[in-house]
Amino acid sequence: MSLLTADDAILRHAGGQGRAAVAQPTAQRMSDSYQAVKALTCQQVIDQLEAQGVTAEALDQRVLRQEIEQVISSRSRRGQLALNSAERLVLIEDVEDEVVGLGPLAPLLRDPGIDDIIVNGPHTIYVERAGMLEQVETRFRDDGHLMNIIQRIVGPIGRRVDEATPFVDARLADGSRVNIVIPPIALDGPLVSIRKFRLQALTVEDCVNSGVMSVPMAAYISSAVRSRLNILICGGTGAGKSTLLNVLSGCIGDRERLVTIEDAAELQLRQNHVVRLETRPPSVDGSREVSARDLLRNALRMRPDRIILGEVRGTEVVEMLQAMSTGHDGSMATLHGNSPRDALARLEMLLGFAGQQSDIRALRRFVANSVHVIVNIQRLATGARRVTSVTEVTGVEGDAYSLNELFRFEEQPPMSGEGAFQTLSPRPYHAARLRDFVMPTAAGSKRGGEASGIAAW
């Protein structure tokens, strides 16, 4: 009896896509018998390589594939496997993923239609396609199998995950962001969340054409970046804050020195002069931690033109706002918040955590002088992302912030995912500063027919 179906193999390799094509696994392929065959074949390949005194990682991909084919051919000759040519290709690919790749996660990572991969224990895996979650049939054999893949993820970047440190942020070789939680913190087995890295960075035009923002929004935001206004991007979890930060960074010129600070490096800056810094978690004894605040303090001594902070979440807010208000114009950061006013309130809260307990009016003047523009992005109920508000911080009047909301996305009816972009203010507060930096390609977009207040600048 065959362990694989020919249809499954044909689907997986159809269309000339080779390893990049991924078909939905059949129940037979996900069966315990197939998992056992794959595990035994992997072990035999490893034993054969050890006998030769080499490791799988040291071999060229073509040579490793030949070694796998030899083991499978040997087992087939002994009658241990009954495979046709299509089934043989599928098993070779899966064994290769197990030996040097990320096992069952590898085909999901190769699928360009998947944005997120969520592993809830060894037998339950979800993926996000077009903003919506769906369960897939891919699975691990057991907790041990999943833990082996986890150690393969964290090992190359010098991170560790064990009972002493049961959760960790990491990244894959391609830049994908990974969060891992293991028992005893995770009660139902190891948990893995992967935010996939886009091979091709999005541009402002891509966002306009896909409906993330309108033409006037794109023109204003691009001009704000070029004119070195300080920009804060806020939104909920998974709303697309980091992706939008990547998009806006593409508007920065090549003659500027940029310093990026992140917990797990994922920004795709395409400029020539970029310095990337990454935080380091504490060791087992609680020492050797390098926080975002430490990196921000050091970055100020590195002669940056702009500082780009992946996310503001702690006491580093003090150094960030000081940098924005003392010569590092054009800096950008992301922050959790459901609206521009929520983002400002969160900044005040973080400043309080950092020990800044001065008069509230002085605190708000400090924030208003540092942050020029707040861009709010949200993920709607349908999974679509939209820039829902672009707001300028114009100062403080009395005890309240003075805000000038330029653009808004109105969802009608609520929770429908449908709506329209509106231009609320015809003249930006920073119009004089923006006039020489208007995005020249905005009118040529596919949505160029929308009304715009750009000409009034």
pLDDT class of 437 with cuts at 50, 70, 90: confident
pLDDT class of 426 with cuts at 50, 70, 90: confident
How far is the C-alpha of 104 from the C-alpha of 206, rounded, in Å? 32
Give the rounded distance of the alpha carbon of 157 from its chain centre. Answer: 17
Give residue 442's pLDDT. 42
Neighbouring residues of 373: CB distance < 8 A, sequence distance ≥ 6? 221, 224, 229, 230, 231, 232, 390, 391, 392, 393, 430
- Residue 102: pLDDT over 70: yes
- The domain made up of 204-456 is a member of CATH 3.40.710.10: no
For 156, the 3-state DSSP assignment is helix
pLDDT class of 41 with cuts at 50, 70, 90: confident
pLDDT class of 298 with cuts at 50, 70, 90: very high
**Per-residue model confidence as pLDDT tens digits over 50-83:** 887 777 776 777 888 888 888 888 877 777 777 6
For 397, the 3-state DSSP assignment is strand
How far is the C-alpha of 94 from the C-alpha of 447, rounded, in Å? 44
Q: CATH number of the domain at 101-197, out of 3.10.20.600, 2.60.40.10, 3.40.640.10, 3.30.450.370?
A: 3.30.450.370
Give residue 372's pLDDT. 96
Within 10 angstroms of residue 295's Cβ, the number of other Cβ atoms is 23
Cβ atoms of 222 and 204 within 8 Å: the answer is yes
pLDDT class of 277 with cuts at 50, 70, 90: very high
pLDDT class of 444 with cuts at 50, 70, 90: very low
- Residue 112: pLDDT over 50: yes
User: Pick from 266, 308, 242: which is nearest to 177 by CA?
Assistant: 266
Q: Which residues of 109-139 are buried (b: 16+ CB within 10 A; e: fewer)?
A: bbbeebbbbbbbbbbbbebbeebeeeebebb
Q: Determine what percent of the chain is predicted with pLDDT higher than 70.
A: 87
pLDDT class of 288 with cuts at 50, 70, 90: confident
Give me 73's structure tokens: 């051919």
Distances (CA, A) of 408 to 213, 245, 291, 387: 10, 19, 35, 8
Domain boundaries, the chain: 1-99, 101-197, 204-456
Within 10 angstroms of residue 38's Cβ, the number of other Cβ atoms is 20
Least trusted range by pLDDT, from 58-72, 126-140, 159-173: 58-72
Give residue 78's pLDDT. 77
Give residue 147's pLDDT. 93
Neighbouring residues of 68: CB distance < 8 A, sequence distance ≥ 6? 41, 45, 92, 95, 96, 99
Q: Please give the residue that has the higher pLDDT: either 456 or 346.
A: 346
Within 10 angstroms of residue 227's Cβ, the number of other Cβ atoms is 18
